[in-house]
Amino acid sequence: MTAVIDDPATILEHEVRELVRRRGIDPVREREALDRLVTDAVGDYADRTARGLVPALPDAARTARALVDSLAGLGPLQQYLDDPTVEEIWLNSPAQVFVARGGVPELTTTILTEQQVRDLVERMLKASGRRLDLSSPFVDAALPDGSRLHVVIPDITRSHLAINIRKHLVRAHRLEHLVRLGSLTPHAAAFLDAAVRAGLNILVAGATQAGKTTMLNALAGSIPASQRVITAEEVFELRLDVRDVVAMQCRQASLEGTGEIPLRRLVKEALRMRPDRIVVGEVREAESFDLLVALNSGVPGMCTIHANSAREAVTKLCTLPLLAGENVTHHFVVPTVASAVDVVVHLGVTPDGARQVREIVAVTGRVEEGRVETAGLFHRQPAALGGRLVRGDGFPPGEERFARVGLDVRALLAGEAA
């Protein structure tokens, strides 16, 4: 015996899903057609309600929105994806859905079922072509809107799928945008703009959610329009405002264990694509060696790295390449880092969630007792002294590179017109 459905929203959802199936509408690709269908279905339902044929909808507009989200979006999570104040969404369990606003986490009132969570993950991965199973219990993927998805399944997690969705909120395409946001001063922005135009190699460092990708996007806005840029990332996150750009991302191995494309391969391939500039989303492992080789070949580049300070970022970059193989030694890596990296920009997050440039240091090119020397260009004062990013006493290497593009770096750092 078939159960009688008396919930108005459920009745309408069954009707709309049947109409979508009969008309062959793809809810994701044909959003306008779906919106029209839902509007017509809600209007028809209201007419039947007036005639006493079906129970009334408590809120027709909210029901229509929920239907569209369910069919074309991510159901109960879509409201957070559409909310511009939400930066990240994560699920520890179906009953624990968190969001972060301004760097501050909050537990939402959204409660899902296990089946809803599985269906949402399947829907999110469908467009990416990436898989999640016992042989591959972790997945990194990009959603159609550019948000980054990370999922872990049991028994790697204790009992529930762990899901993180980091929204791609590009608040800055230029360094001046970061000035307006308060992340850095006009003086520091002018120097970084000049450093990019002069072709210096820049390392962006910081903790998770410190704004490294945003900074990389902003720095790329200073790349001369005539240059060709090749980007390499694990998952597409960068959105460079550059005319001539080719973006590449890694690929998972197939079920047969073949076809994997690691970041090391992308960095190597980038050198074969006539780059004027290479941008690597983030270096974590042996790909740092290939990046150093690329930078040392004369191709300017930028990348990000997780580190707690600019000094630690340089030290880490001297260590990670050793993972590339036994034939890669500290005696090769340290002087290569000293000669290949020019500037390190370190970012941090304040207790209230504000993202700031903490320091900008120059890599002098010298090595003393196995340590790469650095010089402070800008540093942030303690909060008691105003917390402003102020000029240090160091100078960047490659003064002739600035001169080559018509810039007087000493005058610029002194705060004078170049």
Q: Is 305 helix (H, G, I), strand (E, B) or coil?
A: strand
Would you state the pLDDT for residue 417?
39
Asked if pLDDT for residue 298 goes beyond 90, the answer is: no
Q: Which of 18, 3, 4 is nearest to 55 (CA)?
A: 4
In this prediction, what percent of the chain has a pLDDT beyond 70?
Answer: 97
| Long-range pairs, 5-13, Cβ under 8 A, ≥24 | 6/55, 7/55, 8/45, 8/54, 8/55, 8/56, 8/57, 8/58, 8/63, 9/57, 9/63, 9/66, 11/45, 11/54, 11/55, 12/41, 12/42, 12/45, 12/57, 12/63, 12/67, 13/67, 13/70
Q: What is the arithmetic mean of pLDDT over 43-47?
A: 89
Would you state the pLDDT for residue 5?
54
User: Domains of the chain (ranges plus CATH)?
Assistant: 8-72 (no CATH), 77-166 (3.30.450.90), 175-413 (3.40.50.300)
Structure confidence at residue 230 as a pLDDT band (50, 70, 90) = very high
Chain segment 380-418, per-residue pLDDT in tens: 998 777 789 999 999 999 899 999 999 999 999 987 433
Q: Which of 77, 123, 84 is nearest to 101 (CA)?
A: 84
Would you state the pLDDT for residue 151?
94
Q: What is the mean pLDDT of the chain?
A: 89
Q: Is the pTM of this model over 0.85?
A: no
Residues 6+ apart with CB under 8 A from 308: 207
Asked if pLDDT for residue 308 goes beyond 70, the answer is: yes
